[in-house]
Chains A and B, each alone.
Chain A
Amino acid sequence: MQDNRILLNDSEKNRYNRQMIMFDWGEEGQIKLKKATVFIAGAGGLGSSVAIYLASAGVGCIRICDSGKVELSNLNRQILYTDDDIGKKKVLSAAQTLSKINPNIKIVHLFEKIEKGNISKLAGNAQIIIDCLDNFQTRYIVNEYAVNAGRPFIHTGVYGMAGQITFIFSPETPCLECVFPDAPPPEILPVVGTTAGIMGCLEAQETLKYLTGRGTLLKNRLIVLDGDNLTFEELHLEKSPSCKICSSKFN
């Protein structure tokens, strides 16, 4: 049912026309996006791609969090930034660029390191959490929060020309630790910009599907991209009865 309190103006109807004319999207779907808030954890390679597409699609409020500043070595893949941004806070540069891409939406930039003690405040009222992080240690913090808060959490990681993605929504699905209980140590990993772009686009698309209520989400499945051979492998995932994060929710 259409929400009468939030409407699209003529400019928005024109801007989003090509997606609104899709079957089962329309004005109703677009208003759902306009009302939505998302939390993007990380404003690097994945975060750039996710944020640009969600902003372009008209997601009403984007909360984007990162504690880093733009470095020259980021620019092969972090397409939100240019040479002029080097040394600036990523989230601040990101917010400026995203506001230019779509001035109709709200960007909340959060220059903070994600920790157990602040994740609830950072995520705020976001309906969905999008993993654009670069290490498993922080992912575990976000995963635990998502499980306990009952929020959906899209996990993605990239490595060179490879990537993986799954849609976590505990207790309906396994959580991140069910599948990957042993974090590799943080390190500088190779990443090709196009890989972050591809995987970020998939995250953004899953987010749009979730927010508009269309399609089949990537629940209980892990897609692994092997970009060198351009294959996608799909693995079925299972909840772990001994998972220290989520098992108490479904046992």
Chain B
Amino acid sequence: MQSSEANIKVQIKYLVTIRDRTGRRQEEVSFPLGSVLRDVAEWLNKRYALSLPNREIMAILNGRGWNQFPLKLSTEIKEGDTICLLPPISGG
């Protein structure tokens, strides 16, 4: 993405084992105004082959699960949003 026409920036954090797949803990990524979570997923899939949406990766936008937004992957992202990806930490 990160083109000269891009005009919103979001923080993407990669937690625990997701970091092993991306090689970094977090990054700031620019997307064109009007981009939605699906665009973020496609960018991540192309760059890191994460196969999002993926039940093996829990995705959180500003503290809420992606699927908790009424528009789900069609939810528009905004300047300053924080997206976190983490593995399902479900053991006990």
Q: Report Cα–Cα, A190/B58, bound state, in Å.
A: 17
Q: Report Cα–Cα, A240/B58, bound state, in Å.
A: 16
Which of A85-93, A98-106, A175-183 forms part of the interface with chain B? A175-183
Evaluate contact between A163 and B89: CB separation under 8 angstroms: yes
What's the nearest-Cβ distance from chain B to residue A232, in Å? 11
Which interface class (under 10, 10 to 19, 20 to 34, 35 or more) fits B?
Answer: 20 to 34
A202 within 8 A of B: no
Q: Report Cα–Cα, A236/B80, bound state, in Å.
A: 14
Chain A contributes a number of interface residues (CB within 8 A of B) equal to: 50
What's the nearest-Cβ distance from chain A to residue B23, in Å? 13
- How would residues 127 to 158 of chain A score, 1 for a CB under 8 Å from any chain B CB and 0 otherwise? 00001111110010000000000000000111
Assuming the A-B contacts A157-B92, A240-B64, are A180 and B58 also in contact, with contact meaning beta carbons closer than 8 angstroms in the complex? yes
Evaluate contact between B63 and A236: CB separation under 8 angstroms: yes
- How would residues 47 to 79 of chain A score, 1 for a CB under 8 Å from any chain B CB and 0 otherwise? 100000000000000000000000000000000
Q: Which residues of A contact B67 (CB under 8 A)?
A: 181-182
What's the nearest-Cβ distance from chain B to residue A69, in Å? 16
Q: Which residues of B contact A46 (CB under 8 A)?
A: 92
Q: Report Cα–Cα, A226/B87, bound state, in Å.
A: 11
- CB closest residue in chain B, given A163: B89
What's the nearest-Cβ distance from chain A to residue B89, in Å? 4
Please report A residues at the B interface, Cβ cutoff 8 Å: 42, 44-47, 131-136, 139, 156-160, 162-164, 174, 177-186, 189-191, 196, 220, 222, 224, 226, 228-229, 233, 235-240, 242-243
